[in-house]
Amino acid sequence: MRELVVTENITLDGVIDAAEGWFAPSGDNDEPDASDVLGVVQQHMKRQDGLLLGRVTFEQLRGYWPQQKDDSTGITAHLNSVKKYVVSHTMQEPAWENTTVLRGPLETEVERLKREPGGEIGVTGSISVVHSLIAAGVVDEYRLFVYPVVLGRGARLFQDARQVGKLELVECQAFRSGVTLMSYRSRLGC
């Protein structure tokens, strides 16, 4: 059975909404060296053969990554080739290769995807989709890239901690930039 892995960039106080400008993708000129973070992200991409996204995050990725012609990170190649599943009731034509629009009930669609053979199904961004996945109890693992920033406001990963239950720490890794990867397995029987 395939596993559903939520990967998020998150502040110390649990905010995943990047609207405040606290997160910049690696490679920006004013950011510290994040090549060690990129190495781990590349390892994660190798385990994925599916990517589940909400419509807004999908459109943001589609508007940026396919146009990157000199991307040496491998992110463009991965996003172009991986099977993408977009949760949307309004999208008609995804206009990005290897994309399927999921129109049915989210929990039903995810359970069907998890039964198919293959590697991990990643989820990133997609705040409302992630909140629904947490509420449905279908997340197998959380990979949180924790940034040393406290905002005090913004959309949080865990809106209702009672939905999450007990988590088991399976990885903790610090990076040169001050970012820390914290990986937790769900104990909800996923």
CATH assignment of the domain containing 57: 3.40.430.10
Residue 147 lies in a domain: yes
**Residue 28 included in any domain:** no
Is residue 170 domain-resident? yes
Query: Is 26 part of a structural domain of the chain?
Result: no
pTM of the model: 0.91
- Residue-range definition of the domain harbouring residue 39: 4-20+33-186
The tokens for 17 are 């909404």
Choose between 150 and 17: higher pLDDT. Answer: 150
Q: Is residue 27 part of a domain?
A: no
Q: What is the pLDDT of residues 82-110, one digit of tens each?
A: 999 999 999 999 999 999 999 999 999 99
Sorted by sequence, the CB contacts under 8 Å of residue 34 that are 6+ apart come out as 26, 27, 175, 176, 177, 179
Asked if the model's pLDDT at residue 6 lies above 80, the reply is yes
- Nearest C-alpha neighbor of 6 from the set 68, 52, 55, 70: 52
In a domain, 82, yes or no: yes
Spatial strand order in the sheet of 141-147: 99-102, 83-87, 48-54, 120-124, 4-11, 141-147, 180-186, 167-174
Is residue 5 very low, low, confident or very high in pLDDT (cuts 50, 70, 90)? very high
* Number of domains, the chain: 1
* 160 pLDDT higher than 80: no
Give pLDDT, residue 161: 65
Tell me the pLDDT tens digit for each residue of 57-76.
999 999 999 999 999 999 99
The β-bridge partners of 84 are 51, 99
Dihedral sign, Cα of residue 138, residue 143, residue 148, residue 149: negative
Task: DSSP letter for 156, please.
Answer: B
- Position 28 scores a pLDDT of 47
Query: Which region among 12-21, 68-77, 123-132, 137-146 has the lowest average model confidence (pLDDT)?
Result: 12-21
* pLDDT, average across residues 146-165: 85
In a domain, 25, yes or no: no
Pairing state of beta strands 4-11 and 141-147?
Answer: parallel
What does 74-99 look like in DSSP terms, one character per residue?
SHHHHHHHSEEEEE-SS-S---STTE
107 in a domain, yes or no?
Answer: yes
Burial 19-34 (b: 16+ CB within 10 A, else e): eeebbeebeeeeeeeb
